[in-house]
Structure 1
Amino acid sequence: MVRRALAGALVVLLLGYAAVHATVWMHARERLARPPARVADAALVLGNRAYRDGRPNPCLTGRVDAAVALARAGLVRQLVFSGGVDKEDGRIEAEVMQQHARAAGYAGALLLEPVSQSTRENLSLSRPLLESAGVKRVIVVSEPYHLWRVERLARAGGFDQRFEVQYAAASTSCWQRWGMAFRGALREPLAIVNNAANGYLH
């Protein structure tokens, strides 16, 4: 009886997880197919692990490359990098992004938010920085599978009420490589459940 109940609960959990995973994945594909089209004041790039295997993490630098491409296309006039100290290597994500952008030839305006430790903090701590810079319209840049949660955090925290927000799905090498994309999309539902359990999503 107990074993049957546990098995049933496990099936329900797995089905729920699969449903969240499918939702995140379909939304990711939709965002990739519909890139930002309106000019904005800034691109806000959300942080990720700074280094991997002794080199700048391609999941992070790929987001920066996407933002630089927006600037070169004339869609944004400045870049904002959000991310605090990476607990695994002690580097500040925003500074790693800045270094990569400059190395990639971006010479435009830059703002750094070097404190945040989560997606929710990326948005909340970047808000006063954007407001001080007079930003009214912003393109939030992250990897495709991250954006479903980002959009809901922006709504829950009032970020999208303060700014006109568009979202850009960064087709990084991590997204393009099946192993990394699979791992990211599997991990994301756990983050969604955690955020929901803490009352950050609604």
Structure 2
Amino acid sequence: MPDETTSPRPDEPFGGSLRPGPSPAVLAVDMMRAYFDPASALCLPDDDCLQSAARVLATARQHGVPVVHTRVRYSADGADGGVFFRKVPALQALVGDGPMGELMAPVAPVDDELVVVKQYASAFFGTSLASTLHARGIDTVVVVGVSTSGCIRATAVDAIQHGFVPLVVADAVGDRAPGPHEANLSDLAAKYAEVVDEATALDYLGSVAPGGAR
């Protein structure tokens, strides 16, 4: 299906709709042990988003949709994390190749799926992700992962700024508390992304024609 944008009415300045295109990729953002291990200061209250993300990835693979993963890794002194690393002390758990930086088994990369290593919130900032996706003819990114108010929000905003239609799967993203999770999903839906439930995302990925994702 072609891309299609529907503008809101003049009395509704936010919330126009974006139609996903025929060539999506799934972007699994930072599904690392640090967010699911109670020993970590970054741990989420539950792993519901992990299980939902695993189902999204399974459907993407079944239909030949590319999957790209991101993880965070800092140098020994955190110098590559700059001011951000100093602002969030919990990021010290992601120095080097320690266990907290491991991608969780239910969403671990398979075959030759790309893993983008980043130091900041957005999967696009300071990485080659945008050029890689453009080179593959990707027009839509289906975003799953953590955390909604941080890396998911930043990634979705950068996705639309790079010309991709962002689909944020509400069931497959998580945050440290319901407040920031719901508030950011609402604001993303108003201005930067289509926010969809898991069933809608699975239907979309299942509708991609063979060869549609290049």
Give the TM-score band, short-chain normalised: 0.3 to 0.5
Q: Which has the larger radius of gyration?
A: 1
User: Which structure features the higher share of strand residues?
Assistant: 2
The TM-score, its normalising length taken from structure 1, stands at 0.48
User: Which structure features the higher share of helix residues?
Assistant: 1
